[in-house]
Amino acid sequence: MFSLAVDAMGGDGAPEIVIDGLAISAERHPAARILLIGDEARLLPLLARSQAARAICTVRHAPGIITNEMKGTSALRLRDSSMRLAMDAVAQGEAQGVVSAGNSGALLALAKIVLKTMPGIDRPALSAISPSACGDVVMLDLGANVACDSRNLVEFAVMGEAFARVVLGLPAPTIGLLNVGSEQMKGDDRIRQAADVLRASPLAGQFYGFVEGHDITAGTTDVVVTDGFTGNVALKTGEGALKLAGTLLKQVFNANMMSRLGYVLARPGLDRMREWLDPRRYNGAVLLGLNGVVVKSHGGTDAEGFAHAVDVAMDMVVHNFNDRIRTGIAELGRVAAATAPPASGVGGAATADDATTSLAPTDHAASRLATTG
């Protein structure tokens, strides 16, 4: 079995950036086996110049390429694309995970159709790591599901907790539900129901409660759970705030001779801050809840950023991430079964399947895939 199937043709700088990133990954993961899928005529000459990447890669030809402009429905019909064949390799048991810097919407659509969600998971969630004052924070969902119900939020909490354990190495990560206030009466029925379930679940000791937008950068909790619409807005707002801060700093330090001298004196500290906030360090959003590991690299990243996305995928493969999710969902189902009232008109206790299903409201919002940046 290959460790990962890599879409060599996805991303702005593909396939060159992908090969350079895999050369870095070969140093970090020398035992990895990578199924590199793409245009063989372009990949083989690049690999011939990179002994490190060549040592861990096996090339499989794929004539088709999913462009950034292609819609998800069109991508599903292109069965010979590098992204589709990478997904097929995981579905058929050849590889344990996929890494792609290609079209986000196409990747989400293919992952849901080809790999499908794990048993007990209603919808997958897009998760990523962001910086905070207290260390790294896991956020989900970041755009895979625009509308979510209470059951989805509970499942996101289980998956986010497992993700924080594996990728951040936290033994007992704390969990917060993003809300418009921290008081228990704040928010709609959906988020209050999710909070009630988490307080009665095996994660009760790690559940902090409701958090607000400023708590994300403050690092109040290790995991922040929300629906895909709110999460994507929060993510893009944070990215915009960082860019604004960088622009304003440049203007301040270029204002006059004294400010330029101040920049020289402050440069060591600014370099440390730039390294801490380097977006390449946080590259690699993960689609959680599928029958396989799926990592989305930013399309405009460089080799170092792509290598970090591979790092994330390898962490999840090596530490059996999906097994942790299965365990968490199973424990949640057992607790729900134990606390559920007797089935109406039968006189016996509700089954675990009935109890787990009862977490979701009767009127489900339609599932929708949203393209992320």
pLDDT tens track for 238-277: 888 888 988 888 888 888 888 888 888 888 888 788 777 7
Q: Which residues of the chain have pLDDT under 50?
A: 343-373
CA 166 – CA 140 distance, rounded (Å): 15
DSSP 97: E
Per-residue pLDDT, 43: 95
CA-based nearest residue to 211, from 221, 203, 201: 221
Contact 29, 56 (CB under 8 A): yes
3-class SS shares of the chain: helix, strand, coil, % to 5: 50, 15, 35
* DSSP symbols for 221-267: SSEEE--HHHHHHHHHHHHHHHHHHHHHHHHHHTSSHHHHHHHHHHH
Tell whether the torsion through CA atoms of 73, 78, 83 and 85 is positive or negative: positive
Spans of all domains in the chain: 4-330
pTM: 0.81
CA geometry: angle at 239 spanning 12 and 288, to 5°?
Answer: 70
DSSP 81: B
CA 156 – CA 143 distance, rounded (Å): 13
DSSP 346: T
CA 86 – CA 81 distance, rounded (Å): 9
37: Cα within 13 Å, side-chain hemisphere: 30
Per-residue pLDDT, 26: 93
Burial class of residue 133 in the structure, from the number of CB atoms within 10 Å of its CB (0-12 exposed, 13-18 middle, 19+ buried): exposed
CA 246 – CA 236 distance, rounded (Å): 15
Contact 341, 80 (CB under 8 A): no
CA 160 – CA 328 distance, rounded (Å): 11
Per-residue pLDDT, 337: 64
CA 63 – CA 43 distance, rounded (Å): 12
Residue 83: partners with Cβ closer than 8 Å, 6 or more residues away: 7, 9, 10, 66, 75, 100, 102, 103, 106, 107, 110
290 phi, psi to nearest 5 deg: -105, 165
140: Cα within 13 Å, side-chain hemisphere: 30
Continuous segment of H or E residues that includes residue 354: helix 352-357
Give the architecture-level CATH label for domain 4-330: 3-Layer(aba) Sandwich (3.40)
Continuous segment of H or E residues that includes residue 176: strand 175-178
CA 103 – CA 67 distance, rounded (Å): 7
Residue with structure tokens 């424990």?
Answer: 331
Residue 219: partners with Cβ closer than 8 Å, 6 or more residues away: 132, 133, 134, 135, 137
Per-residue pLDDT, 220: 94
Report residue 248 as tokens.
């304003």
Per-residue pLDDT, 349: 35
CA-based nearest residue to 242, from 285, 271, 273, 267: 273
